[in-house]
């Protein structure tokens, strides 16, 4: 169990810029491949990972434990471990905000990655992220991050307390583009499963 902060008292958190770890530890969420079934385009590659190594840890969220309340600022770090499922880089589930008009700010801490953004009409934008990159997630855009390097990719996220996470839309339809390893290093390619129900459990 992590430490729950008192929202009416000043407090400080120590952020390790190399690892993205926050102290004191708040809520830590570990997302494994089984938490993302059907989200990677290559179902065979996903199955092979399960068969050869079991349930791989893909990413961790280290959140300062504060209530999701209007007027509060929430923050957490995300650490995406390096690796691919098929050609697709390890990534987060991705979400819209329940309150769609809420925005968010990311700050790259360590490693290299990409922020993938998707509007309601399927328009996709990709922003490369590295240490020191501040990436703005506008209202109305779904967002997902991926680790495009061989080291852990860590970033800090800050967002309004009442934004909420809507995972359902992405679980149903996916992103229109995939981030895959290619000759030019990072490629953004069409997702053959976009718009289909991709989640199997
Ligand atoms: C960022 C923020 C968090 C989010 C996390 C993991 O740190 O956007 O709100 O929880 O990434 O992404 P997801 O929730 O989509 O798995
Ligand atoms: Zn968000």
Q: Give residue-wise pLDDT tens across range 132-151.
A: 999 999 999 999 999 999 99
Name the band, by pLDDT with cuts 50, 70 and 90, for residue 183: confident
* pLDDT value for 198: 55
Q: Is the pLDDT of residue 200 over 90?
A: no
Name the band, by pLDDT with cuts 50, 70 and 90, for residue 79: very high
Name the band, by pLDDT with cuts 50, 70 and 90, for residue 38: very high
Mean pLDDT of 3-10: 95
pLDDT over 70 percentage in the chain = 97
Q: Is ligand 1 within 6 A of the CB of residue 135?
A: no
Residue nearest to atom 1 of ligand 1 (CA): 157
> How many Å lie between the centroid of ligand 1 and the Cα of residue 179?
17
Q: Is ligand 1 within 6 A of the CB of residue 157?
A: yes
β-bridge pairing 84-85 and 134-137: unpaired
Q: Is ligand 1 within 6 A of the CB of residue 62?
A: no
* pLDDT value for 25: 95
Q: Is ligand 1 within 6 A of the CB of residue 78?
A: yes
> How many Å lie between the centroid of ligand 1 and the Cα of residue 15?
17
Q: Is the pLDDT of residue 199 over 60?
A: no
Residue 156 tokens, joined = 């800090």
Cβ 31 vs Cβ 61: under 8 Å: yes
Q: How far is CA 93 from CA 12, 35, 70, 73, in A?
A: 29, 9, 24, 22
Q: Which atom of ligand 1 is nearest to the CA of 156?
A: 7
Name the band, by pLDDT with cuts 50, 70 and 90, for residue 196: confident
Q: Which atom of ligand 1 is nearest to the CA of 144?
A: 15
> How many Å lie between the centroid of ligand 1 and the Cα of residue 88?
19
Q: How far is CA 169 from CA 34, 60, 151, 175, 198, in A?
A: 19, 22, 30, 10, 11
Q: What is the pTM of this model?
A: 0.96
Q: Is ligand 1 within 6 A of the CB of residue 92?
A: yes
Q: How far apart are CA 130 and CA 154, in angstroms?
A: 9
């Amino acid at each position: 169990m992590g430490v729950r902060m008192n929202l009416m008292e000043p407090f400080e958190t120590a952020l390790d810029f190399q690892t993205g770890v926050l102290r004191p530890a708040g809520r830590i969420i570990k997302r494994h491949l089984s938490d993302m079934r059907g989200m990677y385009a290559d179902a065979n590659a996903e199955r092979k990972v399960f068969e050869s190594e079991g349930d791989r840890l893909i990413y961790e969220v280290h959140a300062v434990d504060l209530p999701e309340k209007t007027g509060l600022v929430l923050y957490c770090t995300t650490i995406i471990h390096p690796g691919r499922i098929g050609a697709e880089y390890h990534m987060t589930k991705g979400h819209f905000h329940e309150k769609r008009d809420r925005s968010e700010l990311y700050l790259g801490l360590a490693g290299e990655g990409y922020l993938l953004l998707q509007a309601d009409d399927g328009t996709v934008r990709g922003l490369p992220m590295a240490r020191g990159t501040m990436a703005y997630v506008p209202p109305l855009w779904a967002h997902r991050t991926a680790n495009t390097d061989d080291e852990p990719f860590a970033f800090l996220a800050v967002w309004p307390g009442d934004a909420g996470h809507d995972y359902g839309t992405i679980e149903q339809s996916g992103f229109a583009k995939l981030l895959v390893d290619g000759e030019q290093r990072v490629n953004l390619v069409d997702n053959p499963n976009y718009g289909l129900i991709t989640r199997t459990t």
